[in-house]
Amino acid sequence: MDCLFCEIIKGNIPSSKVYEDEYVYAFRDINPQAPVHILVVPKVHISSADEINAENSVYVAKIFEVIPEIAKNESLGGGYRVITNCGADACQSVKHLHFHILGGAQLIEKMG
Protein backbone atom coordinates (compact mmCIF):
# COMPACT_ATOMS: atom_id res chain seq x y z
CA MET A 1 0.00 0.00 0.00
CA ASP A 2 1.42 3.37 -1.00
CA CYS A 3 0.89 5.92 1.73
CA LEU A 4 2.69 9.26 1.69
CA PHE A 5 2.59 9.75 5.45
CA CYS A 6 3.76 6.17 6.17
CA GLU A 7 6.75 6.92 3.92
CA ILE A 8 7.38 10.21 5.75
CA ILE A 9 7.23 8.42 9.13
CA LYS A 10 9.76 5.82 7.88
CA GLY A 11 12.04 8.63 6.69
CA ASN A 12 11.81 7.54 3.05
CA ILE A 13 10.39 10.95 2.17
CA PRO A 14 11.98 13.96 3.90
CA SER A 15 9.95 16.12 6.25
CA SER A 16 10.50 18.96 8.66
CA LYS A 17 10.00 17.02 11.90
CA VAL A 18 8.88 18.86 15.01
CA TYR A 19 8.18 15.89 17.30
CA GLU A 20 8.48 12.11 17.41
CA ASP A 21 7.89 9.35 19.94
CA GLU A 22 6.79 5.71 19.86
CA TYR A 23 3.22 6.60 18.86
CA VAL A 24 3.31 10.02 17.25
CA TYR A 25 5.09 11.82 14.41
CA ALA A 26 4.63 15.55 13.78
CA PHE A 27 6.00 17.64 10.91
CA ARG A 28 5.44 20.92 9.13
CA ASP A 29 2.87 21.04 6.36
CA ILE A 30 4.51 21.51 2.97
CA ASN A 31 1.86 24.08 2.01
CA PRO A 32 1.21 26.04 5.21
CA GLN A 33 -2.17 27.73 5.59
CA ALA A 34 -1.15 29.68 8.71
CA PRO A 35 2.19 30.91 10.12
CA VAL A 36 2.32 27.66 12.10
CA HIS A 37 0.87 24.65 10.29
CA ILE A 38 1.88 21.26 11.66
CA LEU A 39 0.53 17.80 10.88
CA VAL A 40 0.36 15.30 13.73
CA VAL A 41 -0.02 11.66 12.70
CA PRO A 42 -0.15 8.24 14.34
CA LYS A 43 2.80 5.95 13.62
CA VAL A 44 0.42 3.23 12.49
CA HIS A 45 -1.63 3.50 9.35
CA ILE A 46 -5.18 4.60 10.23
CA SER A 47 -6.83 5.90 7.09
CA SER A 48 -9.07 8.55 8.64
CA ALA A 49 -10.99 9.56 11.76
CA ASP A 50 -13.69 7.20 10.52
CA GLU A 51 -11.34 4.25 11.19
CA ILE A 52 -10.63 5.05 14.86
CA ASN A 53 -11.69 2.20 17.13
CA ALA A 54 -11.02 0.65 20.55
CA GLU A 55 -7.89 -1.13 19.24
CA ASN A 56 -6.14 1.94 17.82
CA SER A 57 -7.55 4.85 19.86
CA VAL A 58 -4.47 4.88 22.10
CA TYR A 59 -2.65 6.52 19.17
CA VAL A 60 -5.26 9.26 19.07
CA ALA A 61 -5.01 9.77 22.83
CA LYS A 62 -1.21 10.06 22.52
CA ILE A 63 -1.61 12.60 19.71
CA PHE A 64 -3.83 14.76 21.89
CA GLU A 65 -1.35 14.51 24.78
CA VAL A 66 1.41 15.78 22.48
CA ILE A 67 -0.54 18.63 20.86
CA PRO A 68 -0.26 20.96 23.89
CA GLU A 69 3.50 20.31 24.02
CA ILE A 70 3.87 21.19 20.35
CA ALA A 71 1.69 24.27 20.83
CA LYS A 72 3.93 25.40 23.68
CA ASN A 73 7.11 24.82 21.67
CA GLU A 74 5.62 26.78 18.77
CA SER A 75 4.59 29.69 21.05
CA LEU A 76 0.89 29.26 20.32
CA GLY A 77 -0.20 30.76 23.64
CA GLY A 78 -2.68 32.96 21.79
CA GLY A 79 -4.63 29.91 20.67
CA TYR A 80 -4.71 27.47 17.81
CA ARG A 81 -7.05 25.26 15.79
CA VAL A 82 -6.91 21.45 15.52
CA ILE A 83 -8.63 19.99 12.47
CA THR A 84 -8.95 16.60 10.84
CA ASN A 85 -10.53 16.25 7.42
CA CYS A 86 -12.35 12.95 7.06
CA GLY A 87 -13.47 11.67 3.68
CA ALA A 88 -14.38 13.20 0.36
CA ASP A 89 -16.88 15.83 1.53
CA ALA A 90 -14.22 17.21 3.91
CA CYS A 91 -11.58 17.19 1.12
CA GLN A 92 -9.28 14.70 2.87
CA SER A 93 -6.39 14.39 0.41
CA VAL A 94 -3.98 12.09 2.28
CA LYS A 95 -5.59 8.86 3.49
CA HIS A 96 -3.55 8.56 6.68
CA LEU A 97 -5.18 10.09 9.76
CA HIS A 98 -3.67 13.49 10.52
CA PHE A 99 -4.52 16.41 12.73
CA HIS A 100 -3.66 19.88 11.47
CA ILE A 101 -2.44 22.34 14.09
CA LEU A 102 -2.97 25.86 12.77
CA GLY A 103 -1.95 29.01 14.57
CA GLY A 104 0.43 31.89 14.92
CA ALA A 105 -2.15 34.43 13.73
CA GLN A 106 -5.83 35.28 14.15
CA LEU A 107 -7.66 32.57 12.20
CA ILE A 108 -10.87 33.17 10.30
CA GLU A 109 -14.03 32.24 12.16
CA LYS A 110 -15.51 30.17 9.33
CA MET A 111 -14.51 26.51 9.27
CA GLY A 112 -16.82 24.94 6.75
The sheet that has 24-28: what strands, in order across it? 17-20, 24-28, 36-42, 99-103, 80-83
- Residues in 25-54 at the binding interface with Zn ion, rule: CB under 5 A: 45
> Contact region for ligand 5GP (CB under 6 A) — 54-62, 65-73, 74-82, 91-99?
91-99
Residue 48 within binding range of ligand 5GP, rule CB under 6 A: no
For residues 4 and 108, give the distance between their C-alpha atoms in angstroms, rounded to a whole number: 29
- Distance of alpha carbon 63 from alpha carbon 68, whole angstroms: 9
- Which is it for the CA torsion 63, 67, 69, 73, positive or negative? positive
Among 6, 44, 82, 94, binds ligand 5GP (CB under 6 A): 94
Which positions ≥6 away from 52 have C-beta within 8 Å? Answer: 46, 60, 97
Among 18, 24, 96, 99, binds Zn ion (CB under 5 A): 96
Size of the residue set binding Zn ion (CB under 5 A): 5
Residues known to be catalytic? 98
Rounded least distance, CB 30 to ligand 5GP, Å:
3
Q: For binding to ligand 5GP (CB under 6 A), which residues are involved?
A: 4, 15, 27-31, 39, 85, 91-94
